[in-house]
Amino acid sequence: MRLADLGSRICIMGPSNSGKSTLATAIGRASGLPAIHLDQLFHLPHTDWRPRPVAEFIALHDAALAGANWIMEGNYSRCMPQRFARATGAILLNAATSLSLLRYLRRSWFGRGRPGGLEGAQDSVKWEMIRYIAVTGRNNHRRYQALLESYGIPTIELSTAGEIARFYQSEGLSR
């Protein structure tokens, strides 16, 4: 399956720090579709990743979904039903936990101006995020697979760093 087979409303999902934001930005740049980063909708700008009130996040999420075309990256399970109802395709990443942890530390220490970053915030290492990456989040892949299958959404799965790199190359994307 190719990127063109996914249509004009694409969800990108996967573990924290698996490359969702970078991929969404690359696809958006190549296709002209707006990239929507759910972390930016969920968290307040100019904070150390402080969440918005839930109702405010859901309103921002649903307003973004109303757009005719988009690349939306992020998980946020509570909003998946309405997102999948509008999506025309999905990309499911599954980076190794060790790679996700390494990327998290690197972005926290050196990640100024990264795709999907929070406006006016500086990333910092948080033990709860390390625990989420290492324990909680790594078991979501099968659940996401089943959800996407139940909605019948065409899906490209990229399960290794090599597969992701080959996808960038085959689709003519640049990071």
Give the separation between CA 113 and CA 33, rounded to whole angstroms: 20
Residue-wise pLDDT for 73-118, tens only, equals 999 999 999 999 999 999 999 888 888 888 888 888 876 667 777 7
Question: Count of residues for the chain?
Answer: 175
**Average per-residue pLDDT for the chain:** 90
Cα of first residue to Cα of last residue in the chain, in angstroms, is 21
Report the pLDDT value the prediction gives residue 107, as an integer from 0 to 100: 80
> Across residues 37-65, what is the average pLDDT?
94
Q: Class assignment of domain 3-170? A: alpha beta
Token pair 């757009």 is found at 67
Encode pLDDT of 115-140 as tens digits.
Answer: 777 776 677 788 888 888 888 777 78
Give residue-wise pLDDT tens across range 19-36: 899 999 999 999 999 999
Give the domain ranges of the chain.
3-170
Contact (Cβ atoms closer than 8 angstroms) between residue 128 and residue 95: no
CA distances from 68 to 33, 64, 156 (A): 10, 9, 21
Give the percent of the chain with pLDDT over 90. Answer: 58
Looking at residue 128, its pLDDT comes to 86
| Phi, psi torsion values for 95, nearest 5 degrees | -70, 150
Q: What pLDDT does 112 receive?
A: 64
